[in-house]
Amino acid sequence: MLEVRDIYYAYIYGWLNTIFEVTDTVLFRPELELGNAFKENLTIKEYLKKHYKINIEKLNIMMDHGIFVSDELFKRFFGVEKNLPNLIKVYDVLGVNYGLAFDVPSRLQLQTAIEIAVSKFLNIEPNEKMIKSVYPLLKPQIYKLAETFLSYIDPNDKSLKPRVIKNKLMRLMKEKRELYSEVENLSLQTVNETLRNLEEQLRIKKSQGGKFVLIPVIQGLYLEHSKECLRKTIDLLISYEEFLPEKDEKYLYIAIGTGGTVLSTQEAEMINNLLAYGHEYAGKHKVKVRFHILGWSSPTMARKLRLDLVYSSDSLSVRRRAVDGKIYMLEDGKLRLVEVARINPESWKCECPACKSFSSYVLDPSGKRRNDVRFVHSLWSIKKYIGEIINKK
């Protein structure tokens, strides 16, 4: 997951080609430079050629609508409202290969309800970014759920901290029938709205002759809801012939989110169940499915997920850690996050594309943009780590 400026700095410091060696696809989110390209009616690749003399023809581009990109911010970037028709238009004008569908993240809506409840209890301002991410049609339901959460917090217990309250509420969702019922209803609503949006986007894309592949995102807080979402998603994709452009096989491309957090064992099991179910259900319809995991926030996911059922994933972590002056290192079958300042350059031996030619940048602890090549090293290390796990299995 990169920004346009990351491509620019990779180019001016000479390590752009190392990106091509570790990945064939990058993920962009809405940002000002992409908005400029859209306003000029240029694809991302045309924009980079025109303004920076940069050629990235070797790269495929995936784009997300940006769940935390508010309507106001989206309009400031692209000059149009953030809605289903405009999102399809943005993807098409920018010439992306893959565009993530406008979904309604189940977990985020639930976390926002908890955030509102905790903020009211503590009489503090809630997280503005989360509040703006609330899906408009679900706003009354989310605030009602927040009030229900409040009723389970002892108003006389002023010693409660935000994390303690949130953990307590997550536990009570499984124990209290009324609370479970409201959360279950929210889960179903996010699935229904996600599917409704998907069908509308598929219809718009078909009518406009969109050239990119639309990638739906599976939602649902409970396995039975997510399975329903996945089953109906596959049915919709087949009915609109939304296949990857492959010669010999028919492939669907579907994403499953992680919330960008470290997965619990229960969450990982749910994703594994969905992966297996999706392959089985698609197979009954004589098609194949490629699953994309959204938000690969921690390498430990590789130990929890059925990697043999996963096709691709995106990660912001390697870029963030690069900025922090840290890299992932593979040692004795384990992946460790290490500060480059602690590494002895004289004993450093690494065969990754970044270190072969730019080890001085990789090991320079400063925060200069040339040193962002560290994310190439980390991505290479993670891919090697994943490969070893798959081979062992």
* 11 pLDDT above the threshold of 80: yes
Has residue 393 got a pLDDT over 70?
no
Average pLDDT over residues 86-105: 96
Cα–Cα distance list, 350 to 227, 333, 361, 370, 373 (Å): 43, 15, 13, 19, 14
- Per-residue b/e over 44-70, b at no fewer than 16 CB within 10 Å? bbebbeeebebebeebebbbbbbbebb
Asked if residues 221 and 188 have their Cβ atoms less than 8 Å apart, the reply is: no
Average pLDDT over every residue of 79-91: 96
pLDDT in tens, 41-72: 999 999 999 999 999 998 999 999 998 898 99
The predicted model gives 219-242 an average pLDDT of: 96
- How many CA atoms lie within 13 Å of 90's alpha carbon, on the beta-carbon side? 32
Is the pLDDT higher at 301 or at 268? 268
Amino acid identity at 234: I
What pLDDT does 261 receive? 66
Nearest to 50 by CA among 31, 67, 36, 32: 36
The per-residue pLDDT of the chain, averaged, comes to: 90
pLDDT grade for 162, boundaries at 50, 70 and 90: confident
The model's pLDDT over 244-277, given as tens digits with 9 standing for 90+, comes to: 988 788 999 999 987 656 677 888 899 999 999 9
Say if residue 158's pLDDT is above 70.
no
- What are 304-353's pLDDT values in tens digits? 888 889 999 888 888 889 889 999 988 887 888 899 999 988 889 899 99
In this predicted structure, the answer to whether residue 31 has a pLDDT above a threshold of 70 is yes
Residue 148's DSSP bridge partners are none
Q: Is 98:253 a contact under the CB 8 Å cutoff? A: yes
